[in-house]
Structure 1
Amino acid sequence: MDIWVSNYLFSGISAHQKAIFAHLLWLIWKARNTLLFQGRKSYPTKLISEALLSQQLYEKWNPRKESLTSKQDTWVPPDPGSLKLNVDCSWQGRNLECSVAGICRGANGICIDGFAQKIYAQSACIGETLAILQGLLWLKQFRSALTGTQDARTELPVTLSSDCLQAMDSIMGRQEPSWASLPLVLDCRQMLAQMENIHLQFEPRQTNRAADWIAKSFQTGSLPSNWIATPPHDLYLILCLDFSTTCNPPS
C-alpha cells in the first residue's frame, strides 16, 4: 500500500490532483481515528467533498498558476446596505419529493438567516421555480418579523438569486412558461408586484454552492437544525470560498 501511494504521488498527475489525494489520505486517517476512539462513522462521499472544498479554499487564498478558482466562479456579495438570498432545489427524479433551500447573506458575506424545507415537484425546473417562490414567501415572513422592531433591514433591497435560467426567464417574462409551471410563475409575479426592493438575478451554478449544499443535505436528512448559527464544516468551507470575511474569527 505504501509503495502504491508513493508511486501515485510521484506520478505524472498534476500538482492539484496530488494535493487533493494527499488531503484525502489525511481525512481518511482522521476518520479512522474518529471511528476507533469515538465510535462515529464517516461517509466516503463526505470525505471526498471535504477534500475538494479544502483544496479549493487553499488555492483561493494561496494563488498559483494551477488554481482553478477565479472571479467568474465566486459568489458575488450584494452592495453595502442590501441583502442577497440564494435559493436552490435538490431534485433526484426518483419520486416527487425534493428539497428547496435558501441562504441570506449581507455585504460582508456572513449568513444572516435561511430556510430549508421539503416540497413536491414533477420536474427539476418546477422544483427550481418552487424554490424561487418559497424564497419570496420566506422574504415576506422575514420582513414581517422585523416590522415594528425599527430594524433597517425591513427596507433593505434584496437580490434573490437562482441558478435556473429557465425559471428566471419565465418569471421575468423573457420566455413563455410551460403549462405545468404557469401557476407557480404567476404566483411569483404576483408576490413580486406586492413587495418592494426585490430583484431577481440569475447566477451560474458554481456561485450557488451554499444553497445547493443546504438543499441536498436537508434532503438526505444530514442538515443540523442549527446550521445557520453554527454552519457544518463543509458549509463553512463553502462560505469561506465565497467570501473571506466569513472566515475571520471574532477579535
Structure 2
Amino acid sequence: MDVGPVSGVIIGWLIFRAVLASTLWSIWKSRNRFLYQNVTIDPVFTFKQAEELIQEYWTAKGWNNATDAINEGAEKKSEDKANWSLPHDNALKINVDCALTPDEAIAAIAFVVRDSNGWVLDGASRIIAADSSLMAKGAALQLAMNYAYENDLDEVIFESDNQNLINCLNNNAPSPGWRNYVILENLQFSRNRLRSHSCSWIPKEANSVADWVARASLAGSCPTDWVMRPPPLLRKLIESDLCKAKTNVG
C-alpha cells in the first residue's frame, strides 16, 4: 500500500518513537539492576530487551507494523475512558493488578472478587519477586485462577489492564518473548482446570480497586481486613464503580 509522503513521515515517527522509548527504558532497567542488584550491564541483553519491548508494544496495540496504526487512525487517543461494569446475574468478576518497585525487582500482586451487585466478596494480595509488569500481572492472574479453582467457582470473568497478556491468553497475539513463555503456559494450564470463565482486558482507569489493593500492599499499608472493612479511599473507589456501573445499566 502506498501511504503517501505525509503518512510515510508519520509511520517513520511512530517507529522512531517506539524504538527510542524501548531503548531508553531498557537502559534504565539495566542501570537499576546494576545499582540495586549488582548485576553487570550487558549491552547485548539490553538491546534484545528493547527489541522485545517494541514487539510487545505493537502486539498490545494489535498492529503488525506502524502502517496498521495509520489504518486504524490516531483518533483512538481521544476515546472516552471506560468504567468498571457489573457482571451478569449469577456471575462473579475478579479483577487483578500489580504494583512494582522502581527497579521492578519486587511486586505486590492482588485480586478482588465482586458479585453482580458490585459488592466486594473476597480478595487477596501477595509480595513476589518480579522483573516486568507482564510477569507480575500474569502472577496476579495466576493467583486469581488458583482461587477460583480451589473454591470451585463457576461463571467467572477475569479482568486485567494488561492488554498484551489478555491477547496472548485468548490466542489473539504471539507470546511476548521467551521470558514470559512459562507464565503463559501456566496460565493456560490453570484455565483448562476452570469451569465457565472468560478473560477480558479493561483500561487502567476501570481497574482502580484492584490497583489500590496492589499499591497499598506494596507500601505495607493495606489492612488485613480490607475486604470486610475497606479503608475510606478504597470504599470511595468501590462506591464510585457502583455509581458509574448502575448509571450505565440504567
TM bucket by the smaller chain?
0.5 to 0.7
- For 1:200 and 1:80, how far apart are their aligned partners in 2? 17
Equivalent pair of 1:105/1:112 in contact (CA under 8 Å)? yes
AA in 2 matched with 1:172: N
Deviates more, 1:116-125 or 1:200-209: 116-125
Partner of 2:126: 117
The answer to whether the Cα contact below 8 Å between 1:100 and 1:215 also exists between their aligned partners in 2 is yes
Deviation at residue 74 of structure 1 after TM alignment: 1.9
Answer yes or no: is the 8 Å Cα contact 1:110–1:245 preserved in 2. Answer: no
Indicate conservation of the 8 Å contact 1:171/1:186, yes or no.
no
Residue 88 (structure 1) aligns with: 97
Please, which runs of 5 or more residues in structure 2 have no aligned partner? Answer: 1-78, 246-250
What secondary structure, in the 3-state scheme, does the structure 1 residue paired with 2:226 have?
coil
**Partner residue, 1:150:** none
Cα contact 1:87–1:103 (8 A) shared by 2: yes
C-alpha displacement of 1:92: 2.6
Cα RMSD, aligned residues only: 1.9
Structure 1 counterpart of 2:91, which letter? S
Where do 4+ consecutive residues of structure 1 move more than 4 Å?
A: none
CA distance in 2, matches of 1:225, 1:245: 27
Match of 1:168 in 2: 166
TM-score by length of 2: 0.63
Counterparts of 1:177-216 in structure 2 under 5 Å? 177=175, 178-216=177-215
TM-score, normalised by the number of residues in structure 1: 0.63
Query: Matched residues, percent identical?
Result: 22
Structure 2 residue 146 is matched with structure 1 residue 137? yes
Task: Give me the whole-angstrom Cα distance separating, in 2, the residues matched to 1:138 and 1:194.
Answer: 12
1:158-186 deviation per Cα after TM superposition (whole angstroms, max 9, x unaligned): 00000000111112221121201100100
Q: As a proportion of its length, which structure holds more helix?
A: 2
Find out whether 1:244 has 2:218 as its counterpart.
Answer: no
State the AA in 2 paired with 1:132: L
**Count of aligned residue pairs for this structure pair:** 166
Contact 1:168 1:200 in 2 (8 A): yes
Output the amino acid matched with 2:141.
I
